[in-house]
Amino acid sequence: MQTIKIDGITRVEGHGRITIQLDDEGMVEDAHLHVLQFRGFEKFCEGRPFYEMPSLTARICGICPISHLLAGAKAADAIMGLRIPETAEMLRRVVHLAQITQSHALSFFHLSSPDFLMGWDSNPAERNVLGLAAKHPDVAMDGIRLRKWGQEVIDLLGGRRIHTPWIVPGGVSQPLSVEHRDEILKGLPGALSIATRTLEFFRHMMEKLQDEVLTFGNFPSLFMATGRKDGNLCLYGSRRKHEGWLRFGDADGNILADNIHPRDYHQYIGEAVDEASYMKAPYYKPTGYPLGVYRVGPAARLNLARQCGTPLADEALNEFRRNYGNVTLSSFHNHYARLIEIVFAIERMQTILEQPAVLDKDVRAEAKANEAEGVGIIEAPRGTLIHDYRVDSNGMMISANLIVATAHNTLAMNRGLVQVARKYISGHEVTEGMLNRMEGLIRAFDPCLSCATHADGRMALEVEVLHPDGSLAGPAVRR
């Protein structure tokens, strides 16, 4: 008998548990992720004014509050039935790109890079960002500074780093000053050079990570992301230009469904309850549950994009595609895709900030509730985020449905866990490094379980190995 318990998955954003089912020969039969927290935003927003929703739902997640602020603001824009000023949209894009930068930097440097740089099997007491600072100070400082820069840009725009009240229904609350614009632009080349040198070093490191590419969630599935008219990488999704609509593609690069208006998302996305997790399992409705597996996030976005749309990021994407094809099926490539997106984000910020219109003072449109329902969709750092609000004639919330990036990946994460478990677990001896790889699979998705059960979440990972009859197989407590 053997029980494995990882009591607290670490270096991910959330709380959860994994169970692994073994067959009679001790081979892995199945594996499952359980998310353990629930908060209930969809219910307790009831009766509150819709314009509170961006600020309220920001508290779903302290890592990517900007995502919820923007999805909430876009849903509110739809309820008001208005077009926000062009400058407001430019500023929302900039703050979003800053968030992509800081969140991806956190995922890559603070949370995941200790596994690559110090080794999956290295001393767990040192395998973290502080250990990284001691062993690889240059990389750690690059990570800390890149994340810091992203956070500072958010602060310069929104007056604070976390849970800014600046993003509001109808636009943003304050225009951008010349001084702040210049300060952002001043720091931009430094951030870009960190991003490009990290991309270069990770590109070389990929040669040593081919096992991970092959096993960390490498299988055919569908992919989902929002799209732009020109087919390029879409992160914010302009309501003004009727962009940011949903797109599904398959493993061969075919587009299965395109230009799905945000309000029609539920025709394509179903939500199944997993009786053993507070995180629901969305599925592609035309295929059904549980076969309708699709993935979201950085790799899925690049799979579905024609190009990024900025020079350095496009160069990096082309290089990536030369090596791995136009559609990558490996979720481990999310790390690589994250670095490409950081380069893109910084380049794009520069082009937006260099336009004089970014300083325009007209940054907010006002209206009361004119529509009964509003859906706001944005590409959060981890993937597509959907906020769907229904209001009464006074604009008070009747109900909300929120589908967050991490949840879309539920079915894929479970499948990836099986794949990693089959590769690294055989029989009875289970090492700490093996369990760390299970966590590594989860880290590749950069899940935010805090978001995933909006609801709540933290995901502590506990792994339990079960015999076919469901009894626990053997103790190997992870320390």
Partner 1 sequence: MTKARIATLWLDGCSGCHMSFLDLDERLVEIAPLIDLVYSPVVDAKVFPENVDLTLVEGALANEEDIEKILKVRANTKLLVAFGDCAVTGNVPAMRNTFTVEEVLKRGYEDNATCNPGAPTKEVPKLERKVIPLHELVKVDLFIPGCPPKADVIFYVVSEILAGRMPDMSTRCRFGN
Interacting residues with partner 1 between 18 and 37 (CB under 8 A): 19, 34-37
| CB distance 373 to 388 below 8 Å | yes
Q: Which of residues 1, 23, 27, 40 is near partner 1 by CB under 8 A?
A: 40
Min dist CB 149 to partner 1, Å, is: 10
Contacts of partner 1 in 241-280 (CB under 8 A): 266, 270-278, 280
Q: What residues from 449 to 468 belong to the interface with partner 1 (CB under 8 A)?
A: 450, 455-456, 458, 460
Helix (H) or strand (E) holding 203: helix 178-205
- Closest separation in Å from C-beta 109 to partner 1: 11
Kindly state whether residue 474 participates in binding partner 1, applying the rule CB under 8 A. no
The residue within the footprint of partner 1, chosen from 3, 52, 83, 129 (CB under 8 A), is: 129
**CB nearer to partner 1: pick between 40 and 81:** 40
List the one residue from 24, 125, 252, 393 that touches partner 1 (CB under 8 A): 125
Return phi, psi of residue 124, to 5°.
-60, -20
Nearer to partner 1, 60 or 76 (CB): 60
SS3 175: coil
Would you count residue 479 as binding partner 1 (CB under 8 A)?
A: yes
Residue 236 to residue 97: CA distance in whole angstroms: 9
In the bound state with partner 1, the residue whose beta carbon lies nearer, of 119 and 311, is: 119
Q: How far is the CB of 17 from partner 1 (least distance, A)?
A: 6
- CA separation for the pair 157, 152 (Å, rounded): 9
Task: Tell which positions 151-190 bind partner 1, by CB under 8 A.
Answer: 151, 160-163
Dihedral in degrees, nearest 10, Cα atoms 335, 351, 319, 133: -40
Contact 441, 417 (CB under 8 A): yes
CA angle 216, 219, 224 (to 5 degrees): 100
Binding test (CB under 8 A) with partner 1, winner from 3, 144, 250, 422? 144
d(CA 17, CA 414): 12
Q: Binding marks (x or -) toward partner 1, 415..444, rule CB under 8 A?
A: ---------------------x--------
| 167, β-bridge pairs | 172
Positions 85 through 114 that interact with partner 1 (CB under 8 A): 106, 110-111
Give the nearer residue to partner 1 in terms of CB position, either 57 or 350.
57
Shortest separation between residue 459's beta carbon and partner 1, angstroms: 9
Per the CB < 8 A criterion, the answer to whether 33 and 413 are in contact is yes
C-alpha to C-alpha distance for 88 and 173, rounded to whole angstroms: 9
> b/e map of 393-415 (b: 16 or more CB within 10 Å)?
eebebeebebbbbbbbbbbbbbb
Under rule CB under 8 A, residue 56 binds partner 1:
yes
Q: Which residues, 309 to 368, sit near partner 1 by CB under 8 A?
A: none
Residue 140 binds to partner 1 (criterion: CB under 8 A): yes
